[in-house]
């Protein structure tokens, strides 16, 4: 019988990316280390074991740190535009491997094949952005109060950047960090999610080719694998000035406290509880498209997934009916088959959390209008396929206030003015992404004003997910406050230095202070 891996070219993709029959999981460039303990990577698509990856030992971690530390001394001295050239070459390698890597992302993580390709395209896009940025790492000049003095500030390479990424974007978030860190002159150590280790090894293999072809130190890009205890080696290590961590708010709080205890820096991208406000002036067709993709895309496992739909009472029933009809059209199945809209969620533990959330909705007094449930039978043997659900709830429900990483959409009714809807939108602990659907200019501007959405991302007439790399990505409150990707996010990967130059023969002090000596 032909397996899914054979039918959709997964085995060929694994060979192309060098992640077939592997047992190593710790790497400095081309050099891999293998310990006794292993992670087993199972695909949520069909439940099959893809490969085993070694868990990084403390001894191997020290080798990684030594390689990274030594490599930084060389890499930071290379001019930034030249570092940008290496990132350009990495982007070209990604273009050559887009199909293979996109398939691996889809098969190991479970997102649709189009989303897998899209994730690799994000990597390519951030490389293009970083290449241009490598010639624009600017500072500022300022006027000194002292005659004959010049003041300016500049940015220097920070050092080693530790990256902890999540399973839902197993390659793109790493690229957001590394592409910028590399053009800033930093070196990187990456711990990918223990649920998607093969994606990490594939990316490491690709960048290792660039390093080798340019005779660059291997420690510019390092890889470690394992669960939380492996990540702790980085978060506790004072040799790593910046930890960039993506994941749950619970995880982020642990990372933040650990790194802060040693006065290190963190870039945190944590939980979301994203809402779309639908006003009486909304385009209903656009609303349904944005809400459905936002709620069920990546099986509801994006940090920017639409969790809440806050609908004005005058159009509530119309929107509810349209959503219910749209959900009947969703095709759930093998994500490598492009006829399907939605694939599996990541593992059976997540399936259990999904089921518990549905039960809690009822316990708290909510109503399931699209009931959801776990899918069984042919094509669903992995046990990770679930039906997207829609529930009528109150914003104050405990289950609504938390983030469930699954395709569950909450409908919340509001009455009166837009200010009431904004209060509901902001009335959660998280502050990542938000949107409003309206053709009313005043409503749109109020939503974007200081009295509007309190999220890091606020959109008008598009959904909550699908951010472009040109803008800074991140959120407020329990989302962590970090910013990645575009705009001036590069500054977090560098240290700022203020410089004052005296080109006179006297030494006047600032603030008019006198300190005369014979």
Give the Cα separation of 263 and 431 in Å (integer): 25
Q: What 8-state DSSP symbol labels residue 489?
A: G
Give the sign of the dihedral formed by CA 122, CA 124, CA 129, CA 133: positive
CB distance 258 to 162 below 8 Å = no
Dihedral (Cα; 81, 86, 87, 93), 10-degree rounding:
150
CB distance 217 to 74 below 8 Å = yes
455 is catalytic: no
Give the Cα separation of 250 and 391 in Å (integer): 25
The residue count of the chain comes to 518
Helices 172-183 and 197-213, axial angle in degrees (round to 10): 30
108 is catalytic: no
CB distance 342 to 386 below 8 Å = no
Q: Tell me which of 60, 115, 218, 269 is the catalytic residue.
A: 269
Burial of 132 (0-12, 13-18, 19+ CB in 10 A): exposed
String of DSSP letters for 113-146: HHHHHHHHHHHHHHHHHHHHHTT----EEEE-SS
Q: What 8-state DSSP symbol labels residue 299?
A: G
String of DSSP letters for 207-231: HHHHHHHTT--GGGEEE---SHHHH
Q: Tell me which of 127, 199, 222, 303 is the catalytic residue.
A: 303
Give the Cα separation of 247 and 267 in Å (integer): 11
What are the catalytic residues? Answer: 269, 303
């Amino acid at each position: 019988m032909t397996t899914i891996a054979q039918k959709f070219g997964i085995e060929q993709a694994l060979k192309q990316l060098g992640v077939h029959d592997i047992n190593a999981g710790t790497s400095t460039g081309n050099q891999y280390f293998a310990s006794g303990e292993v992670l087993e990577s199972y695909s949520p698509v069909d439940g099959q074991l893809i490969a085993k990856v070694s868990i990084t030992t403390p001894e191997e971690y020290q080798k990684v740190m030594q390689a990274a530390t030594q490599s930084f001394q060389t890499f930071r001295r290379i001019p930034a535009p030249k570092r940008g050239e290496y990132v350009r070459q990495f982007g070209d390698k990604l273009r050559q491997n887009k199909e293979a890597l996109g398939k691996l992302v889809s098969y190991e993580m479970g997102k649709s094949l189009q989303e897998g390709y899209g994730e690799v395209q994000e990597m390519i896009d951030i490389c293009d952005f970083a290449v241009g940025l490598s010639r624009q790492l600017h500072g500022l000049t300022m006027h000194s109060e002292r005659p004959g003095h010049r003041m300016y500030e500049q940015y220097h390479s920070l050092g080693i950047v530790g990256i902890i990424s999540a399973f839902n974007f197993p390659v793109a978030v790493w690229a957001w960090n590394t592409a910028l860190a590399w053009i800033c002159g930093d070196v990187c150590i990456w711990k990918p999610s223990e649920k998607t280790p093969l994606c990490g090894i594939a990316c490491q293999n690709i960048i290792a080719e660039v390093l080798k072809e340019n005779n660059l130190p291997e420690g510019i890009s390092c890889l470690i694998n394992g669960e939380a205890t492996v990540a702790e080696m980085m978060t506790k290590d004072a040799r790593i000035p910046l930890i960039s961590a993506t994941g749950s708010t619970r995880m982020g709080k642990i990372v933040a406290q650990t790194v802060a205890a040693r006065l290190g820096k963190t870039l945190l991208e944590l939980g979301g509880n994203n809402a779309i406000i639908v006003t009486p002036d909304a385009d209903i067709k656009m609303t349904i498209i944005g809400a459905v993709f936002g709620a069920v895309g990546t099986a509801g496992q994006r940090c920017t997934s639409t969790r809440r739909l806050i609908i004005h009472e005058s159009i509530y029933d119309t929107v509810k009916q349209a959503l219910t009809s749209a959900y009947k059209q969703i095709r759930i199945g093998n994500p490598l088959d492009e006829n399907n809209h939605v694939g599996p969620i990541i593992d059976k533990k997540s399936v259990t959390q999904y089921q518990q959330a549905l039960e809690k909705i009822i316990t708290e007094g909510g109503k399931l209008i699209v009931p959801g449930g776990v899918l069984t039978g042919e094509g669903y043997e992995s046990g990770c396929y679930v039906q997207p659900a829609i529930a009528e709830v109150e914003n104050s429900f405990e289950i609504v206030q938390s983030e469930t990483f699954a395709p569950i959409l909450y409908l919340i009714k509001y009455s009166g003015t837009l200010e009431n809807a904004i209060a509901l939108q902001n009335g959660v602990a998280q502050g990542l992404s938000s949107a409003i659907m309206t053709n009313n200019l005043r409503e749109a501007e109020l939503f974007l004003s200081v009295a509007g959405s309190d999220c890091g991302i606020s959109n008008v007439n598009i959904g909550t997910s699908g951010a472009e790399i040109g803008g800074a990505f991140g959120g407020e409150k329990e989302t962590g406050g970090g910013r990645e990707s575009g705009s001036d996010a590069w500054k977090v990967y560098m240290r700022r230095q203020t410089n004052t130059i005296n080109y006179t023969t006297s030494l006047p002090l600032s603030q008019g202070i006198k300190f005369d000596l014979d």
